[in-house]
């Protein structure tokens, strides 16, 4: 009987131990594991949020720097699009370029309308029909200087012819004799002007 009661005690102790262990796992360990999983998810979310804020902190100074650069360039950009009254400065610049490059030039201005996308931006197009005469290197330097002007302008057409003989030409200052080998250029330049 002693063996049976020892077996019974052993079974009871084992059963109670298993029940206590099961209750311990169900009521203590499992809730702790669930809390750890929730905390892990929260930590990952906060980490992603922190990375996002860190990126914003690095992007913001860079954007502020770019904005500062654009603010520095704003006067130059505003000068690039003259008003109707400031078009005379463009003509003066053309005259200076012609004189600098030893090029004979005549200028005709044709008022036009801008393309649809330019009209939406409040711009009007003035087309300058330039007739140039000079040596080929001088003409090329003239065009390079023209392209380097700080105006919002497009070269719409360029026609270059080579003068073999020496015909007499008439300009606004009177008849002039062109040297053999002179290059004649017809150039259409569209200058965009604020309306």
Greatest Cα pair distance in the chain: 145
What percent of the chain shows pLDDT beyond 90? 26
Pairing state between β 168-171 and 104-111: unpaired
- 131 pLDDT tier (thresholds 50, 70, 90): very high
pLDDT at residue 105, as a whole number: 94
Burial class (CB in 10 A: 0-12, 13-18, 19+), 32: exposed
Stronger pLDDT, 115 or 195, i.e. the higher one: 195
> Distance between CA 114 and CA 145 in Å, rounded?
24
For 84, what's the count of Cα atoms within 13 Å in the CB-facing half-sphere?
A: 8
At the topology level, CATH places domain 84-194 in: Alpha-Beta Plaits (3.30.70)
Pairing state between β 123-134 and 174-177: unpaired
**Tens digit of each residue's pLDDT (9 = 90 or more) over 45-89:** 888 888 888 887 788 788 888 888 888 887 877 778 888 888 899
For the cut 50, the answer to whether the pLDDT of residue 144 exceeds it is: yes
pLDDT at residue 175, as a whole number: 45
pLDDT, mean of residues 2-19: 82
Rounded to two decimals, the pTM is: 0.56
For the cut 70, the answer to whether the pLDDT of residue 169 exceeds it is: no
What percent of the chain shows pLDDT beyond 70? 84
pLDDT, mean of residues 144-149: 92
- Inter-residue contact 118 to 94 (CB < 8 Å): no
- Inter-residue contact 180 to 132 (CB < 8 Å): no
pLDDT at residue 113, as a whole number: 56
């Amino acid at each position: 009987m002693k063996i049976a009661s020892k077996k019974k005690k052993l079974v009871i102790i084992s059963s109670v131990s298993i029940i206590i262990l099961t209750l311990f796992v169900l009521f203590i360990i499992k809730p702790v594991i669930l809390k750890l999983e929730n905390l892990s998810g929260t930590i990952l979310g906060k980490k992603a949020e922190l990375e996002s804020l860190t990126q914003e902190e690095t992007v913001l100074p860079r954007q502020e720097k770019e904005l500062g650069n654009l603010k520095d360039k704003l006067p130059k950009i505003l000068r690039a699009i003259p008003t109707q009254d400031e078009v005379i400065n463009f003509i003066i610049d053309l005259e200076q370029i012609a004189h600098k490059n030893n090029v004979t030039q005549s200028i005709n201005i044709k008022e036009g309308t801008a393309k649809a996308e330019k009209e939406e931006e409040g711009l009007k197009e003035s087309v300058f029909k330039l007739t140039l005469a000079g040596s080929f290197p001088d003409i090329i330097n003239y065009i390079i200087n023209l392209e380097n002007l700080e105006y919002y302008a497009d070269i719409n057409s360029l026609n270059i012819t080579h003068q073999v003989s020496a015909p007499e030409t008439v300009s606004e200052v009177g008849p002039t004799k062109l040297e053999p080998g002179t290059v004649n250029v017809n150039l259409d330049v569209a200058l965009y002007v604020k309306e």
